[in-house]
Structure formats: structure tokens, C-alpha cells
Structure 1
Amino acid sequence: MTVYGTGPQQDAPPAPGAGLTVREALELPCLSGARLVAGARGDGRRIRVVNIMEVPDIVRWMRGGELLLTTAYAVRDDVDALCALVPVLAERGLAGLGVKVGPYLSRLPPRMLRLADELGFPVVELPGGVMFNDILSEVIGTVLNRQALELEHSRAIHERLTRVAIGGGSYQDLMNVLLELSGCAAAVLDEHGAVLASAGAPPTDEPPAHSRTVHVDSRAAGSVGLWTATDHDDDTGLQGHAHRIVALEHATTVAATIAAQERAVTSREQRYRALMLMELVSRPPRDRAETVRRASAMGWNPWLPRAAVLLEVTDAQGASPCSELALEERLLPLARRAAGDDAVIWSCQGGLAMLVAADDALTDRCHAVHRAVTAAHPDWDVVVAAGTVRDDFADFHHSYAEAVETLTLGREVHGPDFCRGYAELGVYRLLGHLPDEELRRLVADALGPLLDYDRDHEGSLVDTLGAYLLHDRNGVAVAARLHIHYNTLRYRLRQIERLTGGLERTPMSRLQTELAVHARRMLTARDRG
């Protein structure tokens, strides 16, 4: 199970430990005589490293975050080249430019300073007597010390938050610790934005100032958010902005771990529940008292009359539209609302199985389930098939078998999208009591010549007859259903008349032929099921 806490973010602050700002660097002893002469708006740029420029083409080797020091010797007589450096360095993401004024450059060109102000790119005037090596060693030393402190703070925050997960802590425990570390109101939300746990009373009418997405198995499972406490925060303390973000990111990782643990527990419980219910609907219970005890422990009433209902969905290609877990998460809330709170629902291959508390509205509930899923996923084919109501839980397996038969036969008769109950099967309920051997004999006696013709000529007379009877002998509707010309249909019907001796020759032969067509559909459905 993959667990991680990074993802789409509301904010993208400088990474903790990324260095010190230009403003902070100017307070170091090595830069005591330096002046920020342009680009003051960008004095918050962070210095990652210090470099020295003696030739202009060094710019192409810059990666961003550098404080670039220069005597401007290489461009001392070329004001245009010196001015052109500013936009290039700003675009490269450098922290700033320090130019030594004195031996080679008497003053910085006004045009260069105007460009720096426009771009918010810091330009620092260095006194002529300053040594580059002093700046380089002190600035880099300060950056490395800060990085070490940041790493230590990050490790401490990580250990503190990780103890919550190791100790079996809840979301609430995690938010309490995050509040303590950050000084900000905090909350963990599910994927729909509902608050699962919070600390510090975060406002309900505004989004968090900072948030991170929780991922479990590469899927968004929610988020962790912080609401900024004040507008004047100390960036050097544990409750400073950088450390808040570190705490938030570590808390998000721990939240993902808790979410994964909860899903694992839920999954085990659901598997146990599904196995128990499948056992109940597969055969009569061996021990009624034990079944009642286990049912009560699962929180459902075994004494209500119920009917088994199957819900299956497929995409346009006839396959499952998503993984079993994702399918359950999408279908369960829809089925719960439509079938009623007293329905017992569990996951099965391709959809859901249900034991719906039966009353006069069973048919309405089934159609409500079909409508709910179809409305939420109009690109899916939805099948809802119900068995008959059984008063005793020991007979639920009969209702389940009827639901299975309704589903498999319904796909053969009605296609990939329908809602039917076993009571609506009509003649198929009668044929369903016959063994396969008897059904095959009926098919062979009534349709044998047509089956032989189709086999020898790669024809489709049996399918044509089935469609003809299904559409009440409406030739136009049958031709449209089979996607053939009306004259082609007439030719096939003449062939059927010739091979069978006439569909309408006697009432008994007509009845036998129609029963045989239905029997063949039932056999096909059983084979596919």
C-alpha cells in the first residue's frame, strides 16, 4: 500500500533550510559596509550559495539562489553589457548581485539601478576594501549552520509526529500535536472537504492558509490544513513560517499512514462481513442461533423479511469501469440512500449485493437504486436484479439464487441495462424449474431444423425467430433490432416457415416453438452465468 503526503498545494513557500535572505545577509559583519542600492523589493530572496564572477559568460552556469559577487572588471567599459546582466540574472533566479565599487568601477550606472528596481532584483554596492573570500566564507557558513538547524528542527518535528502514528494515535491526536508545533489552528479533512478532526477551532468560513494533500495508494484521500495564527510571525522560532510548513508536511505524511491503517482495518472488516453474508445467501444456515448472534454483532436485524438484490455495472466495452475498491466507494453511498438505511449491502464482483428489507415498495426501491446509479454515472450500463421476498433468514439463499437467475437471464433478454425482479420473469420462472437436459430436449424438438440450418450455413434463423417473437411479430421493429433490410427479414421468415412446417399451423406447435425459444435463452444465460 503506497502512502505519501505530498500533492497539490495551496502555497509554495521557500523550502526551510534554503538559506538566508539578502536582507539578513546585509546584517553580517562581512557586509557591514555594503549598501542595498536597488531592487529593495526583492530583499527577501534567499541565498543558497555565493559565487564570484570575473567573466560575463559565468551566467550560463548559474542554477538559482546564488549571491553573485563581481568587480565588474570584464565589463568596466561597457555600460550596456553591465545593464544587460540584471534581467539575465533575475531570470536565472539569482538571489542578488554584489558589485565592488572602487578600483575598476567608480559608480553603478543609473540605468542598471532602474532595471533592478523594476525587476525587484537586489543590487548591493560593496565597498572597495571588502574581501570576496570573507563574504564567501561567512555567508556560506551561515547558510550551512542554518541548514543544520533546520534539519535538526525537521527531525524533531518528524519524530514528535511519528510517535502519534506508532502509538496508534487518531486524527485528533495528530491535530493536537500539529497545533502545539505550529501555533496554528489545524484540521484534517476527507476527500469531500468534511472535517475529520481539528484543533485550535479553525474557522469554518474560510479556507486554510496552507494545505497539503493526503494520498493513499496514489489516490487523494483528503488533506491537512493550517490556518495562520497572526500576520506577524517569527520566522526564526519553532512557530515560524518555515517550521509550520515542515510540521504540516510531516503531519500530512502521518495522516496518510493513519488513513492507510484505517482503510486496512475497514477492508478486513468488510471482507469478513462479505464472507459471512455470502455464506448466508449461499445455503441454509447450519446453526440458526450462531447466525443470529453474528448478524446482531454486525448491526443488522435478521428477523426482517428481505429480498436479495444484485447491482452490477459495466462500461461501454462490457468491462468493470474501475477497481473493486473504487467501485464499492462509488456505489455504496448511492445504493444506501436509494435502498434504505435498513438494507444490508456488501461488495461483490462487478458491483454490490443487497438484502433489502421488503415491503410493498420493493420494486420502487430497486428502480430507485437503478435511477441513482444511472444519474451519477450516465456512461455506465446498470443492472438491478431482485429475488422474491423471504420471511425467514434461513430462506434468503433462495431469494439470492432467484436474483442471480434474474440477472443472468435478464442480460440475455433485455441487454446490458435493465431493472427486473424474479416475479417479472413470467414463463422463465416455470422453465427455471426444469433441468438443463429437459430444456435441451425441448429446444431440439422444436428448433432442431433451424439449428441444423444455422450450423451448416452459418445462418441466424434461430436468432431471427427469437427477435420476431420478442417483438410480437412486428416485422419493422425486428428488422431494426437485427439491423437488416425488411426484405431480408421476409426471406428468413419464409425459410423458418419451410423448415418448421409453419409457425402458426396449430396452437400447440406455436406454443412449443415459443417455449423452445425461451428455453434456449435460459440455457444460454445459464452457460454464461
Structure 2
Amino acid sequence: MTLNEALALVPLDSARVVAGATHLDREVTWVQVVDHPDIEAWVERGHLLLSTGFNWPKTGATAAHLVEKLAAKGAAGVVLAVPHYVEHFPQESIEAAERCGLALIEVPWEIPFRAITQVAHREIIDSQGRALARSEQIHRQLTEAAVAGDGLQDVAVVLGGVLSRCVQIYSTEGVRLADFVVPEIGLASPSFLSGALVALEAVGGLKAMDAQTRAIRWQPRPSRLATKAQSIVGCAIRSRTERLGYVLVAEGAPPLNEIDLRAVEHAGTVAALQISHQRQMAAQEARLGYALVASLIEGRFDEKPGSLERARLAGWDENAQYRLAAVLMDEPNPLSSEGFARREVIANKVRRAMKLKGTPALISMSANQVHSLVPGSVPVEWLWAELAAGRAAMGVSEVHKGVEGMKLAGREVADLMEHVRPGRIHHFSEAVFPRVLAGDPAAQKIFLDRLFGAIGSDKRGEHLIETAIALADEGFNLQRASQRIDIHISTLRYRLAKLAEVTGLALDTVEGRFQLQLGVRLYVAKLD
């Protein structure tokens, strides 16, 4: 129970605060009557003192010194019955209380102290019971999240739910692993936590968390995180040997109490168990054949929250763009023991190259091939040069993202690998069209799917297909094409630009127009 809450109880609701009004959030742990000399010797932290004023110093330095000693002992406040022995607190006591942050309260003499202690102690015991029940609830829910082992998202949801606060869980690398958003107005918004980890690192907040085993409160500067300088409560996630990440809570108002802070710490412990468990699973997957990358590119990935979390911990980001680069060794299948060793050499070169670029190595190996998911920002030509793989060949997919994108990349590379030549790097986008011209049915299907799939996915797809056919038939003569489909030439120019955008073809070049014309011929023939 806080002092503010105590003052709302009958009969303390008739009291008057004369000093320390900004410190009424102090916790009241007990209420006692003290009317004897040297009362500070009987005071403990959180005590609310009741005095008739019989032994209270009336004036001078003694009155100020007593207040200072009580504040130093951690008293929650002093209640003085007036005006029987004293009219009011001495001015020296009031001034000292304002300096020390101790609440001084006056109640009418007619209110018996027995009534105050009875109602206050009853409320203290009741609030302790409520606190124990809440603590038990939090402990049980977080423990259930740990036992279930479903993932960090469950931990964030449980913690955010019991605290009614926005929660985010980060890895030490700054990757957001889980979050919980509270939409209600008045609490710290989720946007407040965006960029929180970087800002905390810049001002020493992460170091402070690393140095503590308990949750800490950090008050950022307004310009760093939000228009209002709301505080962050954070706790480091750690195992016995290393830091694994951080739990961050946007505190808002009212401030979190001691039980809430312990809940953040408990969530950090549960998160450590989850991350350690997921790392063990990820390591096991790697030992069993780099299952993550293999499942992604083979279309076997189980897109569940737990699987996605393990993928993120391994370094894969479902929102990032990747190319699949596959090295085809100049080795017959099945591999010899020397072939296996050479395959491991290539995989290690890929790992070192990715480390140079500061990105996780996402690798799988199968037979005489080494597959790597390469971030779109990393030039595959540079990677090929780093490998110095001799007569091996490399096939590279187009850029994709997400689970479906990785599956598509796998299909592209699988199709491309049948046509690669030793000692060269081959891009899927470059290899398809020559095969289309050569009459390869598989390449023609891929070409049409990519071209008219992109056109058809646009909300004006039917109009764009009609326009593409007219342009191809009229040799890209805009006047004749616009007349053929009965639209204004300005509308045709708009559609032409839209076709270039959705197909990726440079329709202002001979090559781009030729590819669209060929695609239209194949498309119309397929319809017939």
C-alpha cells in the first residue's frame, strides 16, 4: 500500500499533507504510534509514524534534525494529531521535510489512532495477499511458458499481458525475436520501443543491464526514443556463460512495482531457457545436414512460430532478400572420402566469406553441391571469386524473400544446375531466355510464368495483357496499337510504362521489346 492509497482510506481521508506532497508514492509497510524520546531508534523503512506531538520538538534545529533522521531511516511519513499538544508541525520540521522528501501529515485530534492503525493494517495485509496472488499468477504463467517451450513469442505475450505493457525481446545482435503490443491509450506505445536497443547502447543502458542480475529502469532523453521521455525497464537474458539477449518493457504509467520488476527478471530467465533450447535444436539441425536451409529451398519448411524463431536465431530473416548460390563441384556422385573433404573446404570458404561481410552463413550440403543463402546486398561475383573453386560451377537464383521466396529460389537453381558449365558462374535470369529461344519447354514455362504471372498479379492485369498483345502485334507502333484497342495514346503510354515496371523488361530497348513479343507469341499459342 502506498502512502497516497492510505490517505484515501477512512479516517485518513480527512488528513492534510503539509510537507512532502510529491513523495506520497512511498510504500507503507507498517503503522505504529511513537510518542517517546529517540523515536528514530524504533523506526524501520516503510513505517508510517503516528504521534500526538507530546514529545515532538517544538522549534529550532532539533525539530529539523529529527525529520532528517527519520527520512534517513526510510520512514514513509509522519502523522501528527493536532492541536492538543501542538498546533501544527514546526516550520523547521516542514522545511526539513521538503528538503528530505518526507511526508508530514496532520489529522484532527478527535480521530483515534486505533481507527487509523486498524484500517491501515487491514489494507496492508490485504494488499500483501493480493501481491502474493499476483506473484503466484505471474510465476505460474511464465513457468507454463517455459515448460511448454513453444517459443519466445509466448514469453513476450505472457509478460506483456500480466504487466499490460509493450514488451520486446532482442538478441545480443539487435534482432527482434518477439514482441507484445498493448494498443490502449495511456500506456507506452510500441513506437516508443522501436530503436530502443540502439539508443540504450549509445547511452550505456545495455552495459548497465549487463552488470546487473536484476531488472533496471532507464530514463531516456526525449529526443532519442519518443516525444515523451518514458522510461524503459530492461533485463539482460543470460546463461551461465554468456549474454543471450535483452527483455525490454515500455513502462508508461503508473510505474512498475517490485513484483512487476521480478516478473521481468523471471521472463529473462525463461527466455534464456528458450534461447538455449532453440540453439541446441539449431545446432542439432546443422549436424543433421543443415536442415534449415535445405527445408527452405526444398519447400519443406514448417512455417510455425517455433520454426521461424529457430530460423531467426540461425540468422535467417523472413523479411530480408536472398539469392540462393549453389556450387556444383567437379566431382562424381557418390562422393569419395576426398570429395567429402573438398566439399567441406568449399563450405568453410563460404562461412569465412560471409563472416567478412558480417552476415550469418546459411549453408546446406547435398551430394556434390554446396548451397548458400546470400543476402541481396552481397555480390555473388565477389563470393565466387572468394571461393576460387577451380572447375566447380556456381548457379545463382534471382533475389527472393520469405518462405515461398526461398522455395522459388530452390526451384530456379535446381532447374539451372542442369545447364551450368565448369569454372563459371551462371545467373538464372541470364540463362532462361537463351533456353527459351532454343525451344526448351521447361524454360518457356518458367519464362511465361514469370512474365504473365507478374502482369496478371497487377490489379489492371487484363488491360495490361490486352495492351501487350496489341503492342507485339503492331510492332510497338503506338498509334496503331492505341487504335486497335480503342484507347487514347496517352493511356497507352501509361500502360507501356506499367508493363515495363511489372515485368522488369526494358521496353525502350530492342532486346526488351523482343522478349515481350516472344512472350506474347508463346502466350497466345498456349491459349490456342
TM-score, length-normalised on structure 1? 0.46
Q: State the structure with bigger RCO (CA 8 A, min sep 6), 1 or 2.
A: 1
TM-score, length-normalised on structure 2? 0.46
Bigger radius of gyration: 1
